Structure 1
Amino acid sequence: MAEPSENRTLYYQGKRYARRVKRRLGSTWDAKTAVTEIAKEDGEGVKEVRTAYDFACQVDAIARVVPRALGTILDGENPHLTPSIVAQLAKTSETRITTAVSQAIAGLHPLAPEPPVELSPDRSLWHYDLTRLHEAVTLLQRVEQVVARPGRALRIHELDDLALHATAVRVGTDALRLVLGPGTRGTRSTPVSSASGDRADVVKLAKKARGLIEAVTGDLLRAAHTRSLDAVRDELSRAVCAAVSVAKRVGSALPARVASVPPPGVRRTPGGPYDTGGTYVVVLQVDLPGVVRLGSLGTFWFPAGHLLYVGSAFMAGGVAGRTDRHLDGSGPRLWGVDYLRGFASRTELWWTHHDEKVECRWAMALAGTPQCCCTAPLAGASDCGRCPAHLFFTAERPSVESFARRLGRCGSGGYTIHCQLASQALGGANRVKLRPSRNGEVDRFNPFG
């Protein structure tokens, strides 16, 4: 017997929460307060409970308009019907819901425009992805017009934003190449004329192009393992390569904003982190490719290889408490890495007890590493708003020394990065305590001495 789909599991979980919420509603209770109390009673994260509760309510709202939508959503046969897409669909009109459900039943993206009738069924499945890729390339070419213009006068924050968006495009398009194949190169985009371009809108154009690439990355990777790409593989490859070449030209045309500094030191620390604040990277190994739901963000496909999750912990328990929680798999799923339990195994832990929060600097350093890409856009970065993600993929096992050198080139240094292998992790009371000193170094000490 086949296992229930992620949507079906989430829906019935949400229905159970909905019944409990309904019993609590009254003069002193609202749904938000009831969800919070239920999460506390069950020892679950408030966000996780709310995601399930909202999903059940949204599916029921759609099913009241189109009854057959219930089976379509819960069967999970259309990879585009994620919790986030269902949430968007529930807010639209009844006419739009009816059209979207019909498209979803046909295997199309529910929020996509109707494809041209002359397209073959195989090509129509990917028409929305191709359309968005071509639109992203056009937007990036308009950005290039401004950046390549002689005597351009872009402000500092515009330069920073453009570099950020160009990096996000790169990690997204490199993820698309994972399913298109290493041998698919396509035709590179020709540089455009620099005679025109609107400076006032250049950052908005780059941000929109980035959003399109991120949306296509999530959608295409989800769908590629369930249906054939053969009908459009070459065309997709050409569009992806065009986006890559334009994004690279935009990035290379921007002046360097950060000077290199001596890289952080690296220390092998088998005893693990101390229970004070700091920033960390959990290195995970994925043995078999698969699909994982990352909370309300949606369902994403991960290939075999290694994942790097960047986080920070400056509350009670510090890095030790947070990473112990990630390691032993206890407690509610609150952070992106928690959803990877049972799917990926931890191989290494990198961290620093530096007083400054450098989580986003570390994430952007990984995003700028040619070997890294992002198969789950925005994963782990929901509270950031700038980084392409705080969860990255690399085919080869990453090196903490290479990571430290990359940080130095990105202008981040003056502290020590510690590394612990998973085989050395003891956790809990067996952990050898570490005491951070003022310069960011960490010394061993006996907590009972």
Structure 2
Amino acid sequence: MSEISVLHTPDGLRAFIQIPPQGATGEMTPVSLRQLLNRKGIVFGIIEESLAAIAAGGIQNRIEVARGVLPKPGVPGHIQMLVDVSEMGRPKLLSDGSVDHHEIGTVIDIKKGTELARKIHPRPGIDGMNVFGKSIPAPPVEDVNLCPGVGTAVCGSDPDLLIAEVDGALGIDTDGKVEVRDEKVINGDIDYSTGNIVFSGNLSVRGTIRSGFTVETGGNLKVNGSIEDANIGCKGNLDIRGGAVGSGNGKILCKGSIRARHIENFVVEADGDVIISEDVMHSSIISGSRVRSKLIVGGNIIAIEIDADVVGSGAETKTILDVGRKQMLFQERHSLLKELVFVASEFIALKQQIFALVKDTMDENGTLSPEKEEELQELKEKIIETNNTCLKIQARVKEIERIQNSCELDPGIMIGTVFPNTFIRYGSGEKMIMDKTERFVFHPGKKSKL
């Protein structure tokens, strides 16, 4: 076998036996060939089939006789997002296959305590081995740190879990840290590029909220532009640098106060003050406190106090001013409390029916007949519905009491100039202004009469 050569690659991962063209002299067996390889230091990955082929005399050139194993790389440590952001910026796919371009998920709203991300620890690789039996180390794997960003924290009971510390908008800062900010800025309009926005924190829109879109915030809302025929829900204060101008389809619901330059053809409801620096035109405004505007023309205003420089116009546009808001709230609270007594009684009666049904019809094994089981399920559904009604009534009563306690105003109207066809209302009383009047003042609590 002296004519046989043993070769290997520089990295030691492959070995070969070279057979001369005229063939090898001497007897060759798989055992003798293995011994030859071992003498050359080749001890791993020997291919028995190749040795058998050489021994059979069927090889007259080079053949691979050993093969090493490459190291298997590990998996680096990484941060796994637990909030789905894959659909962010894409129109919502509807069940019929169409898409809703008003819903594209520009802002991902996060509640306090939400699980945001998890650290996945690195998984080491597996070492390889060359044909000489020497280990080939697997490349090292990188680890990552779970670094909290603004509004996030590492969970106290799980050091690999990142949670939200505040309600707010999910984001990634410039360092790649996950953050939740309770204030979000939209650098432009609310339109098809952003879709509808639902956000639990404070929101600032540097452009205009376009017609047909919806914005809901759990905090304050600031709009540098205007609001078109849009639906606005704000649980804080609303500041509109421009105005709210629509065609009668727009609506604003605000739990705080509203400030704007002008309002036209809009429905507005606010628990706090509504302060308009210029004019209110043909709009419906309900305030749990005070409405102040330079000019009010058309529509109806319901508040506790109304203060305006001019109401109505020379064209005698019908305008309604109603300062019975406090009385309306009192009456609503009274009606709700009466309804609550009735609903609570119904709730107790349902509980008694459930108790009697189980007590009288359940057998010794604790089971009911199919008919009674169906009746029990219906009673359970009714009691859940009744309980939800109770909770809604109680929530509204508390809301009314909060509005009443936060407002110390007495009902009143103060107008610099009021034009004919303006109606002043308080409770069941109503007075129509027949002539242009200067310095009109009405205070129901100070023996003023309609």
Using structure 2 for the length normalisation, give the TM-score.
0.23
Bigger-Rg structure (1/2): 2
**Higher strand proportion, which one?**
2
Structure number with the bigger relative contact order (C-alpha 8 A, sep ≥ 6) is 1
